[in-house]
Amino acid sequence: MYGEQPRMMRMEIVPLPALRDNYIWLQREGKECVVVDPGDPAPVRAYLAEHALELVGILVTHRHNDHIGGIPALLEDRPVPVYGPPSIAVVSHAVREGDTLQVPGAQLRVWAVPGHTEEHIAYLGEDFVFCGDTIFSAGCGRILGTASAAEFHASLTRLASLPGHTRLYCTHEYTLANLRFAAMVEPENAARAAYATRCTGLREQGLPTVPALLEAELAINPFLRTAEPAIQASVSQHAGQEMQSPPAVFAALRAWKDIA
């Protein structure tokens, strides 16, 4: 399914479908690899065995069980460092805003991106980011725990400041559902309509719609477009009051999505 390992070592990021709609991301170079948010040990074990890989670390973005539930079983197979927020019990190597760590093929920077949960972090490579449940293609995560809409909007704004060619490795296949909501919010967005056609084709072939390119998300993702007049008008109409402040528009948009 994933092709032959190239003769020359190069970094590769592989999606491992898990649970109902999760992706566990496996980053490898040569015969070493790390996995990101392994909620289920089975696909990780299968890929390691099939490709004779050595797991050397686990990265965690936040505390939810569909992101950490497979870690105890993987540690039984091989004790490796588990990097993540310090508040998560299974984490052995706590990382925080501004930290860096070396993994096979890349050096990663840690960003605090609270919103989906208060402890949520992201791992940034040179042209990619493991963003967990902070941002999805055409959407974003729910606001849970003690996190606030204002914090979430700030986290998304920060991610949106990355170069347009940045690949967003989110952890759920929510794209088509998110695009249906985006069509309600901004029905005249031609870029969104074209993107929906492309993503529908990918899913019909059984292929992931992610990673997403940030430049595409800036054109189609309503949660990154809260400063756009069309989004503000749509949200204002739905809320029954005029809204122009991007943080307020984001909060109302997220609440709308929660009940849509």
User: Which residues are marked as active site?
Assistant: 62, 64, 66-67, 116, 133, 172
What whole-number distance in Å separates Cα of residue 228 and Cα of residue 244? 9
Instruction: Please classify residue 230 by burial: count the beta carbons closer than 10 Å to its beta carbon, then call 0-12 exposed, 13-18 middle and 19+ buried.
Output: middle
DSSP 84: E
Q: Which of 88, 30, 84 is nearest to 57 (CA)?
A: 84
What whole-number distance in Å separates Cα of residue 79 and Cα of residue 101? 18
The pair of three-digit structure tokens given for residue 134, joined into one six-digit string? 């902070």
Tell me the sheet residues that pair with 169.
130
Q: Which residue stretches of 17-135 are H helix?
A: 41-51, 65-68, 71-77
Q: Are 52 and 109 spatial neighbours (Cβ–Cβ below 8 Å)?
A: no
Give how far the C-alpha of residue 97 lies from the chain's centroid of Cα atoms, to the nearest Å. Answer: 17
